[in-house]
Amino acid sequence: MKIHHIQPRFFSLALIVALVTSTATSSVVAEVPANSNNVAAAINVDIAMMASGTSRLEGIVTVPIYSSDDNMGSDYSTDPALFFDIDSNKSGTLPFSLLAKQPLPVRAFVDTLYSPRGAIPSNDAPPNYVIPHGTGPLRWSCVYNQTNVAMTPWGTQISITRSDGLPIPAPPGSKQAPHPGRPYNCGEMISKDRGIGYGKYSVDMVSTDVRGHVTALFLIAHSDSPEGGSEIDIELTGLDPTAVWLTVWKGSTQQAVKFPLGFDASKGWHTYSVEWQPGFIAWSVDGREVLRRTDLWTADPRTPGVEYKLALNSWTHDQEEDLWAGKFKWPTDRRQPVMSQFRNLRFVPMDM
Q: Which of 188, 235, 275, 307 is catalytic?
A: 235
Q: Are the CB atoms for 207 and 217 separated by under 8 Å? A: no
- What burial class does residue 183 get, using C-beta atoms within 10 Å of its C-beta: 0-12 exposed, 13-18 middle, 19+ buried? middle
Choose the catalytic residue: 31, 58, 231, 275.
231
Q: Is 231 a catalytic residue?
A: yes
Q: Residue 345, Cβ neighbours under 10 Å: how many?
A: 23
Q: What is the DSSP letter of 179?
A: B
**Strand-pair category, 149-152 with 120-121:** antiparallel
Taking alpha carbons only, the member of 326, 330, 219, 250 closest to residue 3 is 326
How are beta strands 149-152 and 142-144 bridged, if at all?
A: unpaired
Cβ distance 36 to 15 under 8 Å?
yes
Residue 110 near residue 126, CB atoms below 8 Å: no
Assess contact for 133 and 171: CB atoms under 8 A. Answer: yes
345-to-39, 147, 151, 272, 307 alpha-carbon distances in Å: 38, 21, 13, 10, 19
Can you list the alpha helix ranges (DSSP code H) found in 122-275?
none
Please write down the HEC assignment for all residues of 18-69. Answer: EEECCCCCCCCEEEECCCCCEECCCCCEEEEECCCCCCCCCEEEEEEEECCC
User: What is the Cα–Cα distance from 92 to 162, expressed in whole angstroms?
Assistant: 27
Residues noted as catalytic: 231, 235
